[in-house]
Amino acid sequence: MRHGSSTTLRVLVLGGQAVGKSAVTVRFLTRRFIGEYNSTIDLVYRSAIRHDDIETDVEILDWSSHKGDNYIPADRQMNWADAFVIVYSICDRSSFYWAKMLIDLIRRMPSYLPVLVIANKRDLECHRTVDIAEGHHLALQHGCQYYEVSAADSHVSINIAFHSLLREAKLVQQHRTPSLKRRKSSLISVSKKLGAMFGKITKDNNEVEKKRGTI
């Protein structure tokens, strides 16, 4: 199965440099805020998340953008994910353009996958360069969920946003699984029919050969 087991959801967190990807991720997982965080490696967090009274195993890959905004994730990273979180800073217009490019990349993938757009640093309103209407328009244009948050101020809105994404990702995963089962069932059915048909042909051929041998 392409996207892991039915009990695990894999989330890839993407975005430009210094937009708060790690701060947002850690806020969701631990409710704690980390200020300066400059990682040069990709980090994978694993946790059992309880939502809608169901416990779900979640893997979150916090993708490092230390190579710069022109560094695009590899296909193996993109194909690894069941859902995506795209983070940009409301104080950095270039990070907003980078977010748009990443969403375009995801929407060109062969299968539909849920995307959550997070506009971070809402607490720095006086430095805003990306209007909330622009974020809403981007999300509506590409069929994404959208939240403005402040990782520095509170975990509440981040928690709501992630749970909403996980809920959609689980629905998509559940919808995909029966389809795969139906395809496997159909293949097994076709295989049995072909086997029976070839078995009958072989049996008939043997009977013909026996008759020829007695002539």
Residue spans per domain, the chain: 8-175
Q: What is the pTM of this model?
A: 0.77
Report the CATH architecture of 8-175: 3-Layer(aba) Sandwich (3.40)
pLDDT of residue 87: 97
- Sorted by sequence, the CB contacts under 8 Å of residue 94 that are 6+ apart come out as 16, 69
Give the containing element (helix H, strand E) for 212.
Answer: helix 156-214
- Among candidate residues 70, 61, 56, the one with its CA nearest the CA of residue 14: 61
Neighbours of 59 (CB within 10 A): 17
Write out pLDDT tens, residues 38-97.
666 788 999 999 877 888 999 999 988 665 555 677 788 899 999 999 999 999 999 999
The span from the CA of 105 to the CA of 74, in Å, is 11
Residue 121: half-sphere exposure toward Cβ, Cα within 13 Å: 23
Percentage of the chain modeled with pLDDT above 90: 60
